[in-house]
Structures are given as structure tokens and as C-alpha cells.
Structure 1
Amino acid sequence: MNYVEVDLKVDSEFSEILMAELGEAGFESFVETDEGLLAYIPEGDFDENNLNEITAKYQDLTTIAATWKSLERRNWNEEWEKSYEPIEVGDQIRVRATFHEPDPAFQYDLLIQPKMSFGTGHHETTWLVMNEQLSLPHEGLSVMDVGCGTGILAILASKLGAANLLGFDIDEWAVENTRENFAMNNLSATADVFQGTITGVPAGRIFGGILANINRNILLSEIPKYVAHLSPGGWLVTSGFYETDQADIEQCAEESGLKKLRSNTRNQWATVVFEKL
């Protein structure tokens, strides 16, 4: 699979809103530059007209120049590695690539091989979920990572004490990358990942915690399925949607037998934590 890189020349104050708009349109990863923003999307999902419609909304407020090009896989990884910077969540979590030196000031040091998969830590929702994980019980639990991307959330779950991990994603690159990242972080044989969806999880497999950083439509469709795999008193972290969609997510969760524990937002993106009654 090839990807498209869109280079947006725009004032920095508009970068966040454009990331939100482009994220809704299917763009998976972003890199802020001195001149604006780089945005990445699978080639098959790229729609030039849609891109033009998004940028046109802001042309009266600022000047936006957009160019794009197709990246082959080998160039994709090379470009991403050049741009990747460590991610810090509060003063406890640091996500870094192998070419960055560790920082002993952080309690949780997560290593990833940065490829163009959603979930490198740069997206607001990944940050939100990791921040919530810090205050959730993990010790001895089985944890499932839905749409695992790079596996970063599962890796943090392991460092927080999870005993068993299961991740899955529909993208073969994401699965490959997750396996690499599991190995780099010395996750045990109790950590597994497969290519597929929630339907591939055995019916009798139950988890004490589930991480679901996906998107609004998938969550509304699949939350009842997650609940079927969640033990009583277990937690579910949902993210990947805007603040404006939060009420719909909460209603679906409540109708599925979940109780809201708390929520948080960051630059118009939201996360909600639930508990199974």
C-alpha cells in the first residue's frame, strides 16, 4: 500500500484545526513543520476534491497552499523517521524511536519503530488514552487493544502491569509494526496481535480492560461487542472522536451496560472512560 503526503503551507495557528478536519477525512498521521503541516493518508483514501473543500473553508482567514505526492513504502518510512520526535505525556511517559537516547526522568520509556501507522503518539487521541491509562488499574489484567496501530497503548498497558495482551488491526502494516514494537519493548509471549476485527476474538475470551481508539462510527457499531468481552467491573477507554460526538458515544455505552467514569478533551478530540456494571 502506498500513501499520499500532503504538504500544507499555512500559519501555525491553523495547524490544529486542519489536523482535526483532515483526521475526520481519513488522514492518519501528521507532522508539524516550520512552514505548516505534513499530512499522510493511504493512497486509496485520498480525495483531492475533499482536500480542496477543507482548505477552502479557511481561505478567507489565512493563506493555505497545498501540494501532494505519492510515497512508496520505502520512502514513507524514511520520511517519517526524519521527522519523528519523542512524545511526552505529562512527566511520566516518553515515547521514542530507537535513534533517540533514553531520558531517565520518565518512569515509562516506550520504544517504537516509527512507521506511518496511526498511533505513533502524535495524534491527540493517542495522547488522551495514554494519559487515562496512568490512572486505571492494569496490574495482572488481560487487556485488549482495538485497532492497535503501532501497539503503543498495549505496550504502555504492559509497563503498567498487564499480564496478558491482545491487539488487532485491519492494516497488515500496523500488525507487522506492532509485532516489531512488542519485541523491542521485551513484551513476553503473553502479548499477541492479529490482522482482523473484533469478530476474530474468541467468544469466551474476557478482558479486565479494553482500549478502543478508533472512530465514532466503529465505536457506535462495536461497543456492545466490546462489552461482551469485558469482565464485570472492567474498564473501557474510548477515543478517536470529536467532542461533538461524545454524547452519542456515551448513550451507546450506557445502553450497553456501561457506566461513565470520566472524560477528557484535547484540541476538540475527546476520550471517555467507562466501567462495566
Structure 2
Amino acid sequence: MADLVYIEYNFTVAPLQPASDILIAQLGEVGFDSFVENEEGVQAYILKDLWTEEKVKNVQILSNENFDISFNFKEIEQQNWNAEWEKNFEKIVVDDVCTVRAPFHEKPNTKFDIVIEPKMSFGTGHHETTHMMLQHILEHDFTGKSVLDMGSGTGVLAILAAMKNAGSVDAIDIDNWCYLNALENKERNNCSQINVFEGDVSLLKDQKYNIIIANINRNILLADIPAYAKCLTKDGILFLSGFYKEDIPVITEKCNEVGLKFEKNLEKNNWVAVKYVF
């Protein structure tokens, strides 16, 4: 995969929300497959073979007068991305019991030791949303549970659920890069009970889970919450993240419509991770 070449777009967005969420959704529709949100906006990636400048010009939000969005782009080779990642990646420790690290880091003394090589996939534990979702998993009993990690990225959340003795874990991501990366990380952490799938919410037909984890963005969550609810067993738990504190009311309203009730939330730098239950 070292010969894959991506085009990187750097978008400066004001105000950040809801423009960043809308931008990511619309870029996804025209072929972009990886995104990184930052304090100024969004970095977005598309395979050079799938890219034309016209695709971006046709993204509707860029002509919306309510938002100020500017961008530049450049070509980036996958091998250069990996070199930058390895140079800058630092291990993290969550609540003194879970370490997320790269293969080149020294083995820690924490109870849970997750080794990942994220490449271009989201979910290293450094972002607030992933960090808080790891905290939620650490706080709950996963023994024997059937679990869904929706929008699984690197697979880090699925891996921790498996390490906490989940009976089975399905990890789903629409991005081919994330799918392949999660497969690698599953094997790297010897988590045989994880099943990795490439796709979206349409894969959930007739599935049942005790616990669903979804760290995506607000708009996708709002569209998919009814599907999650149909898949949850009685007394099931839904953990959601990928949105800001001010989005909790609209997310909770959608959950209430399908019988899910707010129980608690974690907050970090205005990002939240919320627990809902039947």
C-alpha cells in the first residue's frame, strides 16, 4: 500500500460548527475517505486516482454565505504520511489502566496494552472523543457481551472491548483504509472475537447487540440512531461521541424518539461522549 498517493486538502472553517460536520459529510459524498478535525477546520484526504478539482468545486457548503471556508491542497504519498506519524506519535495512558501505543513503544505496566499502527485511520486515543470512549469502556462490564463498534477507524475501541472479555465484537467502517487497518490491528492484538466489516449502517439488518459504540459525527449519528436502537437488546447500552456539548440536546431528542434515555456524559475540551440506555 506504500504506493498509494493521496491528495490532502486543508480547509479553514468559520464558524467551526455545524460547518465542519456538513463539510465532512459532503466531501464524503464526492469520494473523500479520511478526515482529521482541528482547531481551524478540517484536513481531508482523497485518493489521487479518484480526484479532480471539479469534485471540490461542486461541494455545496463552499458556496454557502453563512460560512467562511477557504482551502489549499497538495499531493501526499502514503509512505511520507507514515514517516510523519511515526515521528510524532506518542503513546497515551487512559485512567492509569489502559495504554494505546505503537509497535515501537516500550511495553507498559498497565492492565490493558493496545498496540495500533493507525496509518491514515482515525482513532489513536489522542482525540478527545476516542479518549472518552475508552474511558466509558473501562468503566463498564463487557464480559460475554455482543458489541458493535460503528465507525471503528483503527479498531481501538473494539480492541479494548475484546480485551474486556466481550463475547463478540463487530467493527464496521465505511472507509476501505480503516477496514484494512482494523484488520491489521485486530491481528496485532490477538483479538479473535472481533469481526471487521467494510460498509455502513445498511449492514445492521437483523443484527442484535448488548452494547453499541459509535464515534462518528453528529449528522451521521442523527441519521443512524434509529437503526442502532433496532439492533440493541433489552437493557442495551448505546455510547455516542463525535460531537460537542451543545449538540447533546438534539442527539438526546433523537434517542428519546426511539426509546433511549440519557444516563451520563463525559466532557473534554467541549467534546462529549454520552451514554444512553433503554
In the superposition, the TM-score normalised over structure 1's length comes to 0.80
| 1:165 and 2:172 aligned | no
Q: 1:29 aligns with which of 18, 36, 46?
A: 36
Q: Which residue of 2 aligns with 1:94?
A: 99
Cα separation, 1, equivalents of 2:162 and 2:169: 8
One-letter code aligned to 1:143: V
Q: Partners in 1 of 2:168 and 2:194 — Cα distance?
A: 6
Deviates more, 1:239-248 or 1:71-80: 71-80
What is aligned with 1:259?
Answer: 261
CA distance in 2, matches of 1:19, 1:122: 20
Aligned-partner Cα distance in 2 for 1:37–1:220:
24
Say whether 1:129 aligns with 2:136.
no
> Residues of 2 paired with 1:19 and 1:183: CA distance?
37
User: RMSD between aligned alpha carbons?
Assistant: 3.0
Q: Which amino acid aligns with 1:201?
A: L
Partner of 1:111: 115
Q: Distance in 1 between matches of 2:16 and 2:108?
A: 29
Residue matched to 1:272: 274
Amino acid at match of 1:109: D
Amino acid at match of 1:41: A
3-state SS of paired residue (1:28): strand
Matched residue, 2:28: none
Distance in 2 separating the partners of 1:270 and 1:171? 23
Q: Distance in 2 between matches of 1:73 and 1:227?
A: 38
Gap regions ≥5 residues in structure 1? 9-16, 56-65
Separation of aligned partners in 1, 2:116 and 2:213:
18
Aligned counterpart for 2:238 among listed residues 233, 236, 239: 236
Seq. identity, %: 37
Answer yes or no: is 1:79 the counterpart of 2:87: no
Amino acid at match of 1:238: L
1:170 maps to a residue whose letter is I
What is the DSSP-based 3-state SS (H/G/I as helix, E as strand, rest coil) of the residue aligned with 1:244?
helix
Pick the aligned partner of 1:201 from 196, 199, 204. 204
Of 248, 251, 269, which aligns to 1:249?
Answer: 251
Report deviation, 1:198: 1.5
Q: Taking structure 2 as the reference length, what is the TM-score of the superposition?
A: 0.79
Query: Whole-Å Cα distance in 1 between the matches of residues 136 and 146 of structure 2?
Result: 17
**Which of 147, 150, 154 matches 1:146?**
150
Q: Does the CA contact (< 8 Å) of 2:9 and 2:45 recur in 1?
A: no
1:247 is displaced (CA, Å) by 0.5
Cα gap change, 1:265 to 1:230, in 2 (>3 Å): same
Task: Report if the CA contact (8 A) 1:84-1:114 is conserved.
Answer: no
Distance 2:18 2:106 in 1: 34
Mark the CA change 1:220 to 1:30 in structure 2 (over 3 Å): closer, same or farther: closer
Instruction: Describe the superposition over 1:77-98 as per-residue Cα deviations: whole angstroms up to 9, x where unpaired.
Output: 2221221111221211110000
Mark the CA change 1:217 to 1:38 in structure 2 (over 3 Å): closer, same or farther: closer
Preserved contact between residue 15 and residue 68 of structure 2 (Cα < 8 Å): no
Q: CA deviation at 1:172?
A: 0.5
Q: Alignment partner of 1:212: what SS?
A: strand
Q: Distance in 2 between matches of 1:119 and 1:46?
A: 26
Q: Is the 8 A contact 2:11 2:69 kept in 1?
A: no
Contact 1:264-1:270 at 8 Å conserved across structures: yes
- 2:187 matches 1:183: yes
Q: CA–CA distance in 1 between the matches of 2:234 and 2:88? A: 43
Distance in 1 of aligned mates of 2:269 and 2:132: 10
Q: Which runs of 5+ in 2 are unaligned?
A: 25-33
* Rounded Cα–Cα distance in structure 2 between residues aligned with 1:262 and 1:157: 19
Q: 2:90 touches 2:101 (CA, 8 Å); kept in 1?
A: yes
Looking at structure 1, the residues matched to 220 and 238 of structure 2 have their Cα atoms a distance apart, in angstroms, of 15
